[in-house]
Structure 1
Amino acid sequence: MIKVLWQNENGVSLLIVLMTLVILTLLGTALATISFANVKLTTNDRDYQSTYYIAEAGVNQAYAQMKSQVLVTYETRNNEESFFSSINDYIFSELNNQTYKNFEKSFSEQPKANITIKQLTNQNPREYKISSEGVIGKRTRTVEKVVEVKWVSKNAVPSIPSNVALIVRESVTLTGSAKINGDVQLLNGGNNKITLNGGGNIYHSDKTSRGTVHVESNYVDNVLDVPNWYRDSPKVVGSSSLFNLESLNGLLNIAPSSTSNTLENINISGNRDQEISLSSNSFTEKVSIEGSNNLDIHIGDADYHLVVDNFNLGQGHVNIIGSGTLHLHVLDTFNIGGSSTINKNGNINQFNLYYYGSNQFKLGGGTTDKRLTICKRC
């Protein structure tokens, strides 16, 4: 009897061991399955997140390039139409359909971001949508960003009367065959405010006929100070609609801070010419030209402001190259003499001079210039 019970107990023990092994095997298999699924899910999630980061990096890179170009274009365009035209040319020729591959490899795969840009609106401000498709192997993910580009009107020169070359507050002195080709407006009339001597004179913009000085009507008879032997003195006419110089105050006050580039001093002497090309508004402390040398300023088809502390054209020539307009702001001293010329072969719309100095504005020698000149303290 005792022997039988012992044998039964051995059978129960074996059964318990077998059941334990089965349970452990099932648990191990389940845990292995769960672990494998988790590893696979983690890998997929990693790849999914990686493609998102590539897409995000692509859209940010395209946005940075677009922003940089918008700022550069705004510097060189003075109206809304040309601004947006230039922006669109850049976007759809340089950015749209571009592929960025400047990423580190991800598990032997080369990531890339495919960029597409769509214009959403036509008005100002204008909206664009940047789409970036991140790609790693066969996995893709897209990130989008809507960008608003706005044109903000600049302080522009108010409409200037036709054929006017010089608008001055107080007085003008022309000596030594200096010439102004275009009419003159004298805002504060008085006796002997326009002085001509040594051949200096004021001509019409066609250079073949006498120019005209516009003053308040009660100063017509006494404003000219010329020698008795002078011939073909300019006509003096009374005007009740002289230019309002105060309308330029905003432009005159902000011009010195409108530059984004500093140039080295320009000193030209001996037997040499010099060329500079402007691609943005610029500042230089000094421009000095002697010895009948030339300074060619290339502006392309854009409008630029060049701010100068001291401008000395003792005997030389300044040539404006391009179809745009150069606005020259002279803050302190302005001297021009000898047989100097400024924009001689250009047209009056290519060059505007703004003089801020406290000294009297004078043209001497055989000076010839073709520009609009506006003096804050003349």
Structure 2
Amino acid sequence: MHMLKQKKISENEQGSALVYTLMVLLLLSLLGMSVGMVTVGSYKLSDSNRDYTSAYYIAEAGANQVKSDFTKKVNDLYTESITEDSFIDAVNKEVSALKSKTFTYPKQFNEEVKGNIDVTGNFKDGYTIISKGAVGNKTRTVEMDVEVNWIKKSAGALLPELPDGAGLVVDENITMDGGSFSGAIYSNSQSNKTVIIQKQSGYGNYNISKVYYSGKETIFDGYYRPSNLSKFEKVSTQFDISNYEKAINTIKNDVESRRKEGLLLETIINYPDGNRELKINDKDNYEKILIETNHDFIFNTGGKDVTLFVKELDMKVKGMSIAGGGKLTIVVENKLFIPRGNFNTNGSNDKLNIVYLGTEPLMMSGWEPMKFVGNIIIPNANFDGNYMDLTGVVLAGENVKFNGGGTASSALILAPNGKVELGVNGGSYILNGAVVASTFYMSNNASLIQKNIDTSNFWNSGSSQGDTGTGDLIITSPIIEPN
């Protein structure tokens, strides 16, 4: 009986292994599905985190790049600016150029990659660089605060000092076809025949103390080699005369920053019997000033440093002087005619600056001698000084000529992109000072005698700047990600 029951129970358990097997397979399937879902979810989360992180790095890189570029540009603008107003104006223009710029990069895992830069704020309150990075639909935004400061400059920072004893600093060739020269020569030329001397008919007195050169060994050519030339000296670095070109651009920017908008333009016509004094305010702006008198004409500055703007200036005067104790800068936009007279002869050259912005060749003086104490800046035109006794600095963007017997100047002639000629067309000219030019030519009875010229007060800023300032030009904060 017992054996029968046991047999029946055994028969009832048939197929249970299959059930157990199916249950195990079901559990394994569920486990596999769970693992798969977790893996897929993890993969998607990894993609999301990758894109999210990449977006941050793009935003951060954009902010750092703008900081680097902006810092370099601000340093350049500071070098080119003389006044705080001109510097602020230039910085604000640079900031405007940086606003709302978008950059597209190569795709990342088939996702679009973009960056966007914006700059907000102003000079007084500071600027904020806002940089956004985007990868697909993931975006990150970072910010960096930037403070720009104006540091007061000392006087005389505009013109670099000339090399020791330099009478001539030239980028290309020097030709002396007669005349006299005394001083050292600095040549940046990389070609042969840098210095050509042709002693004609017994003319010529050359006291060249030394020739500094960075190019070829053979630099002399012509009929005459100076017997008292002590030696050549090869230098490893050139004297960079492009700094004088930067000075021209700096003055142009400074002049533009002084200009006032909205002033009514006037015309002044002054004949011999009229009033011979003009009282001017800073940044007065005139259409024309036409003056003709056999007496001295006076510009009264009222005790201030002033800049006078005029489109056309015609002065036929016996002389011109500055009253009131201030410095006078005259900016002539289109036409300048000064055929004769003595200008600022009782003052110093830092008291008078004439800036001619026209493009037609400028001739000051003619066949009548002129005495001029001041500085002349001609960025865009050739300059011709006939019979001109000049004390000061000529800074020119093009060519410069001086001619006329009997006149003797104490001046620094700077024409970094042009040719300087002394004693052309059969005349003579005596220059005590130095010449910086692309090329130089001297002939006949002209003389260039090296003399140190003080340029510490070459260009006034139009207002007193006080002592030199200290501090950081640019201060930046760490990058942050706003909430």
The TM-score bracket by the shorter chain reads 0.3 to 0.5
* TM-score with structure 1 setting the length: 0.46
Which structure's relative contact order is higher, taking Cα pairs within 8 Å and 6+ residues apart?
2
Q: Report the structure, 1 or 2, having the larger helix content.
A: 1
Q: Report the structure, 1 or 2, having the larger strand content.
A: 2
